[in-house]
Chains A and B, each alone.
Chain A
Amino acid sequence: MNTTALKDLLYRLADDQLILGHRNSEWNGLGPILEEDIAFSSMAQDKLGHSLQLYTLLHNLGEAEPDTVAFTRNAPQFHCTQLVELPIGDYAFSLIRHFLYDHAELLRFQLLATSSYEPLAQVARKLKGELKYHVLHANTWVKQLGTSTEEAIEMLQTALNETLPYALGLFEKTEHEEAIIADGIFPGEDELKAQWLESISKVLAQTNLELPDLSTVAPVYGGRHGEHTEHLQPLLDEMAEVFRLDPTADW
């Protein structure tokens, strides 16, 4: 098995979960209703737990401790997609990002549940059960608000149009794509993207929202190769502020 390719995939998975987990936590205390406050905070907690499982797999492959990996790297060393690092914006944006992202993640971990790399398959089988709740949550609100008032529909449609280019960045390939597929670690980004498109289309068809023709949308790539927006470094500085005061402290 190509370990370099495997690590590349694990970093992409783990960094996405860590950064979106941190962004979700920013809704703590600010949710439009109490249940949403709790939902985004719970999803934040889940995603941090998921990143820990994935960083632990990397640690077992010889990378540094999970805390060190999470809290001491700078933006160019992160492999997350730019989608997850964008600020939380308004609720419409956060909901649409959550919808587009979690559909992809649930399918991704369903595919990884049969990965040839058994430790990853075990983690994937665990995570997919939890991600189901994230998708259920996103679908509930997209369906409810996407069929409600004109204002709500317009806000969600705007968010969908603006977020799609970044969401397509989730499927950015790296130079290890062929090795990952050949080794049976993961069936590949094209397969995932096709499943994702079918999955989100089914839900959107039950709303007044329109999915733009994806062939007209230019994906925002770069995140998988360490190219990020100006929003990631301040997020990392804030997230790691306490850890970096004393990296040797015993928690």
Chain B
Amino acid sequence: MNQSQHSLSAPDKATILTWLEVVTDPEIPTVSLVDLGVIRDVRVADDGYVTVRMTPTFSGCPAMDYMRRDVERVLREHGVERFAVEMSLEEAWSSNWVTERGRAALKAHRLSPPPVHQGIVDLDILEYAECPNCGSRNTTLRSPFGPTLCRALHYCNDCRQGFEQFKPV
């Protein structure tokens, strides 16, 4: 294959990111890894070699291997044969990276999205959560640990129901 044919067939970054939108968090199937900020970057080299850089939300997250395999599967399904999926800690994941669409997706799963912070996660930020059921801010942090590492348990004093929040980090 000569160089011009190659560049025609090689997918660009935007296309690959669109493909990857189908890869979701296995435990929160409404939110894509792109919107969660887990997929950090996609690079397509001049020779067509694709590198996807991912970063874990929490370092002990057991779902990371599944997510990586899902990304690899989607690349193969689209005919990409030469690629690497890197797990990188170059930048520590921040909950501020969750996109607006990601926040809506978390709400659709009845999870309170992480409050946006100014780089410092203090006690006020940790305790704050908006009830995903009734929208009230009159809520109480019950436990910073929930059913998965990325979730905290809160209670809504208005609709009187417990709910989970995607933790701010």
Contact = CB atoms under 8 A, between A and B. Distances in A.
Contacts, number: 71
Going nearest first, the 3 A-B pairs with the smallest beta carbon separation are A49-B60, A42-B145, A49-B59
If over half of B's interface residues share one DSSP class (helix, strand or loop), that class is named, otherwise mixed; here it is: loop
B123 A136 contact: yes
Interface string B116-147: 00000101001000000000000000111111
B143 A39 contact: yes
Interface residues of A, number: 25
Interface of B: 56, 58-62, 89-90, 92-93, 121, 123, 126, 142-147, 149, 152-153, 167, 169
Contacts of B62: 45
Given A47-B60, A136-B123, A38 B143 contact: yes
A52 B153 CA distance: 27
Which residue, of A42, A123, A130, has the highest number of chain B Cβ atoms within 10 A? A42
Most buried by A among B93, B144, B146: B144
A127 B56 CA distance: 11
Contact of A46 (B126, B142, B149): B149
26 contacts: A35-B143, A38-B143, A38-B145, A38-B146, A38-B147, A38-B153, A39-B143, A39-B145, A41-B145, A45-B60, A46-B58, A46-B60, A46-B149, A50-B59, A50-B60, A122-B90, A126-B56, A126-B89, A129-B121, A129-B169, A130-B59, A132-B126, A133-B126, A133-B167, A136-B123, A137-B144
Contacts of B149: 42, 45-46, 49, 130
A202 B56 CA distance: 33
B59 A126 contact: yes
Interface in A190-225: none
Nearest to B89: A122
B62 to A, nearest CB: 8
Contacts of B90: 122
A137 B123 CA distance: 11
